[in-house]
Amino acid sequence: MRISAYCYTNQGGRDHNEDSVRCSAQEGTFVLADGLGGHGSGEVASALAADVLFEGCSAHPDPDGLAELFQKANEAVMEGQKVHGQEEMKTTAVALSLAGDLAVWGHVGDSRLYRFTAGTLTQETRDHSVTYMKYLGGEISYMDVYHDDDRSSLLRALGKLPCKPEAGRARLRPGDAFLLCSDGLWEYVYQEEMLADLLKAETPEQWAEGMLLRHIRRTPPGNDNFSLITVFAEEEL
């Protein structure tokens, strides 16, 4: 399988960027982490978690192994909390490993993974947030997730115990595509728009550019950091 990818991160309307992205198409390893603003040193937490996950994903673990890797990332963030000024830092994270005909992913928090296969784009991760639990419980609609007042209230994050990641796997097929993104992106670009832009794109960069154009038209002043990684899987030439 030939893997190509594009990654992008932006501080948005904030004074610094607390997102971290790690991307290697050659290794088939992709990680995105979103440090939690308001908890202090979010950029440190996201970098610590991203480094642990990226290094570990290079071994292409199965879902159980990836869940264990998230535990190690959590330990790294908690160790970093021992430094003065970093006591409250936390981060979300999503990771994707592609090897042979297998895709494995995992996440904690509300950074998302979308997978396109057989003509359908699916959100493979479930946000660990109060808002998403309200959606799963039937209290609000899916579209309400984008605007609900509780969407920033996370139930799980790296930097506290217990650490409860979720992981999944699927067969990797030529023509599949993946999107890893922080909430700073998905809150302003809807899933059907992600699919529309993908179907017009010939490269991961073109897919990203289409979504970023939508994003820039909608974001208010002072908007959150936003990051994405787009990945294509194709037949070897």
Task: Tell me which residue range forms the domain holding 33.
Answer: 2-125+157-234
Residue 137 lies in a domain: no
Q: How many domains does the chain have?
A: 1
Closest CA to 63 of 219, 152, 167, 210: 167
Q: What is the pLDDT of residue 73?
A: 98
Minimum mean pLDDT among 34-43, 100-109, 187-196: which range?
Answer: 34-43
Instruction: Give the CATH number of the domain where residue 225 resides.
Output: 3.60.40.10
Strand pairing category for 19-24 and 2-10: unpaired
Q: pLDDT per residue over 96-122, tens digit each?
A: 999 999 999 999 999 999 999 999 999
Cα 132 from Cα 10, distance rounded (Å): 25
- List Cβ neighbours of 3 (8 Å cut-off, separation of 6 or more): 25, 26, 28, 98, 231, 232, 233, 234
User: For residue 97, what pLDDT is reported?
Assistant: 98
pTM of the model: 0.95
Dig out the tokens for 54 from the structure.
């990226």
Q: Regarding beta strands 166-171 and 226-234, do their DSSP bridges make them parallel or antiparallel, or are they unpaired?
A: unpaired
What local confidence, expressed as pLDDT, does residue 38 receive? 61
Going along the chain, which residue ranges are E strands?
A: 2-10, 19-24, 29-35, 91-99, 102-108, 112-117, 120-123, 166-171, 177-181, 226-234
Q: Rounded CA gap, 51 and 73, in Å?
A: 8
What pLDDT score does 21 carry? 98
Residue 193 lies in a domain: yes
* Residue 107 counted as domain residue: yes
pLDDT at 148: 84
pLDDT in tens, 137-173: 999 998 888 888 888 889 999 999 999 999 999 999 9
pLDDT for 208 equals: 98
Instruction: With a cut of 80, say whether residue 9 has pLDDT above it.
Output: yes
**Residue 8 included in any domain:** yes
Determine, yes or no, domain membership for 152: no
Burial profile 70-107: b = 16 or more Cβ within 10 angstroms, e = fewer = bbebbebbbebbeeeebeebbbbbbbbbbbeeebbbbb
- Range scoring the smallest mean pLDDT among 23-27, 93-97, 131-135, 200-204: 131-135
188 belongs to a structural domain = yes
pLDDT over 70, % of the chain: 98
The per-residue pLDDT for 19 is: 95
